[in-house]
Amino acid sequence: MSSRIDALKSLLAQDPGNTRMRHMLANEYANAGAAAEALAEYAGMVDHDPDYVPGYFQAARLLEAGGDTEAARSWYERGLATAQRVGDKHAASEIAAALDLLA
pTM attached to this predicted model? 0.91
DSSP 8-state code for residue 49: -
d(CA 63, CA 71): 7
Note the residue count of the chain: 103
pLDDT score at 2: 79
* 10-residue averages of pLDDT along the chain (103 residues): 88 91 95 96 94 97 96 98 97 97 83
Q: Other C-beta atoms within 10 Å of 81: how many?
A: 14
Distance between CA atoms of 70 and 48, rounded to whole angstroms? 23
Domain boundaries, the chain: 3-101
Predicted local confidence at residue 31, as pLDDT: 94
Q: What is the pLDDT of residue 25?
A: 96
Pick the CATH number of 3-101 from 1.25.40.10, 1.10.240.10, 3.30.1360.170, 3.55.10.10: 1.25.40.10
Q: Which residues contact 31 (CB under 8 A, 6 or more apart)?
A: none
